[in-house]
Amino acid sequence: MLELIREGVPLFFSAQALLLTSLGVAAGLVIGVLPGLGPLMGIVLMLPVAFHLPPVPAMGMLIAIYIGGSAGGSISAILLRIPGTPLAAATLFDGYPMAQKGRAQDAVGLAVSASAIGGLIGGLILLFFSPILADFALRFAPPEYAAMAILGLLTISLVSEGSPLKGMLSGGLGLVLAMVGTDEFTNAYRFTFGNFNLSSGPHLVAVVVGLFALSEVVFQIEGGGFLKRPSIDRLGISLKGLRLILSHKLNLLRSALIGTFFGAIPGAGGDVSAFISYATAKRLAREEEGYGDGAPGGVVATEAANNGTCGGALIPSLSLGIPGDASTAVLLGALFLLGFFPGPDLFQNTPEIAGGIFLAYLTSNVVLLVLGLLLAPFFGSVLRIPKAWLLPIVLLLSTLGTYALQNSVFDLWVMLVFGVVGYVLRRASYPLAPIIIGMILGPVLENNFRRALLLSRDGLSIFIERPISATILAVDALLLIAIVISTIRRSISPRASASDPV
């Protein structure tokens, strides 16, 4: 661990990396505060910019947006009773009642402090466990990598809201997109339809921006209220919240550990960990603390879990290449675009990059603590920005960023097409994140599967002859059975309820 940090110091502690990390936290806070956007949208919008930056400053900026955006949603939840992100939904229970009692400034200070400290705890666990998992993955050969890719693809159903089957279908679309372009083994063109622009497949950034940013713009337009400005009390710089959190040390540590644990489970997510942390804190609290009526401990529990989840979600992402949630899926895509691959190669061949990423994560949480407290008065102003100004800015950034990738009008067409695809899929309640996971893990699965067959003289038997790949495939089979059972239960339940007498 110390070796990784030492390797990463020269790359991270540069003016560019530190500045971009700080700006990323500030941008993430602003994006998280605005309802409907959140950290995923921030990462998507800045992905074209990161494509042109050195790897550590680029990943530092994106991770900082992830950290800031995960914390920012609590501020609108406290002030407006509208969570800026799903992660902040549980903060409504006590954050908004605190604001109603005239303690909005304390609640914001508590939320930011708990998020930053919870994120630091998650970061220390990330720093400890990621190299251990990556070291274990050194025993992997093509059969193991192929089995792990299947496991990652099956987790699509876990990161999918609603039907697991819809998640698998969306992931299937991602696999189809991953096959477009030049075959790595034969150099033959596949599914390009004679268009040279598709020789490398559709650009991942153009697809991501179209699916998430453009479809979100259309949904926001449909929602109306373009000139609406909410009425919000003025906030001051909140330092009292940092002092208040010292009386909730055990709650803070427990909630951060819960968040890190659930973050490391692909698909569990910060919203799940926040509700579980809140329920745990409430059950262990004294009755006079008044959970649900403006208890500071409730804000601490949910926000420490939220940002603890960020560190947990990066553990399988960096160590094994399995994204913990939708945001880390896009972060993995950024890492691929920058020419680096998660897993043992990242830690063994480029330890300076891994160390730089760890330092970026830890520093982002420190910057979050400082900026979150100092910029509290600014957040009220951000929440007053009407949609009529915000949406054109999002659309302009999406267009300019996508075009700047390769100075290609074709990329703009790809962005537009997938904007329509994203809107249609969201209308039909199909999740979008599995498409990106499929595009990222598709080549990993195909290439390692084919290499394994070339190494094997007995066909598919190589996958079960090797203990590690056989174990992973057994887990894959159990997960697939669980998905099938879950899908059958979901299909039976509506019929049963429809046949019940009224």
CB 51 within 8 A of CB 4: no
* Predicted TM-score (pTM) of this structure: 0.77
pLDDT on residue 334: 86
User: CB under 8 Å to 412, separation ≥6 — which residues?
Assistant: 206, 399, 402, 403
Domain annotation covers residue 407: yes
CB 179 within 8 A of CB 191: yes
What are the tokens at 464?
């079960």
Q: Which of 387, 382, 124, 439 has the alpha carbon at shortest distance from 257? A: 124
pLDDT on residue 64: 92
Domain annotation covers residue 501: no
Beta bridge partners of 189: 182
CB 25 within 8 A of CB 364: yes
CB 364 within 8 A of CB 311: no
CB 118 within 8 A of CB 307: yes
Domain annotation covers residue 498: no
pLDDT on residue 382: 64
Domain annotation covers residue 301: yes
Domain annotation covers residue 497: no
CA–CA gap between residue 442 and residue 175 (Å, rounded): 5
User: CB under 8 Å to 450, separation ≥6 — which residues?
Assistant: 185
**Count of structural domains, the chain:** 1
Domain annotation covers residue 145: yes
Class of residue 461 by CB neighbours under 10 A (exposed 0-12, middle 13-18, buried 19+): exposed
Tens-level pLDDT at each residue, the chain (502 residues):
677 788 888 888 889 989 999 999 998 888 887 766 778 888 888 888 888 889 899 999 999 998 888 888 787 777 776 666 666 777 877 887 887 777 777 788 888 888 888 888 888 888 787 777 777 767 778 888 888 888 877 776 655 556 777 888 888 898 999 899 888 888 888 888 888 888 888 888 788 888 877 888 888 788 777 666 655 656 666 667 677 787 888 888 888 888 888 777 665 555 667 777 887 888 787 776 777 777 888 888 888 888 888 887 887 788 877 776 778 888 888 888 888 888 777 888 888 888 888 899 889 999 988 888 787 777 766 666 777 777 788 788 788 878 877 888 898 999 899 999 999 998 888 888 788 778 877 888 888 888 888 888 777 888 888 888 898 899 888 878 877 777 777 777 655 544 444 3
User: CB under 8 Å to 392, separation ≥6 — which residues?
Assistant: none
Range of the domain at 122: 2-492
Domain annotation covers residue 87: yes
Domain annotation covers residue 275: yes
CA–CA gap between residue 108 and residue 377 (Å, rounded): 10
CA–CA gap between residue 283 and residue 254 (Å, rounded): 13
User: CB under 8 Å to 481, separation ≥6 — which residues?
Assistant: none
What are the tokens at 63?
């991770």
